[in-house]
Amino acid sequence: MKTLQQQIASAESKLARLRTKKKASDTRVKIVVGAVVAKAALESPQAAAKLAALLRERVTRDLDVKELQPLLSDLDEKAAQDG
């Protein structure tokens, strides 16, 4: 039979694995949602303009802004087709 300390260690290990699994699941959901939103925005000038504005407003880290530049360019191009 495991000691109380061993049982605690085992439970903590299981909890850590479950937290890692949850984080991976949350990340996957964000990726899927982001891909769907970006694709939909690139199909509609109005949606493209809204998404570009939202990204410019909410994304502030320099590295993230740099990574988004190609998408922002595509969104701006699609938004310019309106009108």
Per-residue pLDDT tens digits for 8-25: 999 999 999 999 999 999
- pTM metric for this prediction: 0.78
Task: Return the pLDDT at 45.
Answer: 97
Residue 72 burial (C-beta neighbours within 10 Å; 0-12, 13-18, 19+)? middle
Q: How many CB atoms lie within 10 A of CB 71?
A: 17
